[in-house]
Amino acid sequence: MYDIEAIPILVRLMCSFGAAFSAVVVWRKTRNGAWILVVLSAILFFIDAIYSTLVFIGLVSYTLPFLGEIPLLQLILVGAPYLFMAASFVFFLISHRHY
């Protein structure tokens, strides 16, 4: 691995760590369901960044289990943060309806 290849990885790790750390601080201060889902999304982004970094340097792999040809763990780690983020927006819209 060349030094130039490490720069995007380090930027992704630092940004996702900052988001996850801030999310934990928000988690302690709020009990709103929409914010809790945003917090879970940020934490899952950080977990995905860590795991994909470990895959990149060769310490772990996405070997098991598979869903057809797609590694199931990779599918969950990549898709789950977006699902939680979308769910938080829907939850916010439902909870702030005005009739």
Q: Report which secondary-structure segment, H or E, holds 72.
A: helix 72-95
Give the Cβ contact number of residue 48 at 10 Å: 19
Give CA–CA dist 76/45, Å, rounded.
11
Q: Report which secondary-structure segment, H or E, holds 70.
A: strand 70-71
HSE of 7, CA atoms in CB hemisphere, 13 A: 3
- 2, two tokens: 């060349």
Q: Mind listing the pLDDT tens digit of every residue in the chain (99 residues)?
A: 567 878 888 899 999 999 999 998 988 888 888 899 999 999 999 999 999 899 888 898 877 787 778 888 888 888 999 999 999 999 999 988 876
Q: How far is CA 21 from CA 12, 18, 27, in A?
A: 14, 5, 10
pLDDT tens-digit readout, 26-35: 888 888 888 9
pTM, full prediction: 0.82
Closest CA to 52 of 62, 39, 65, 42: 62
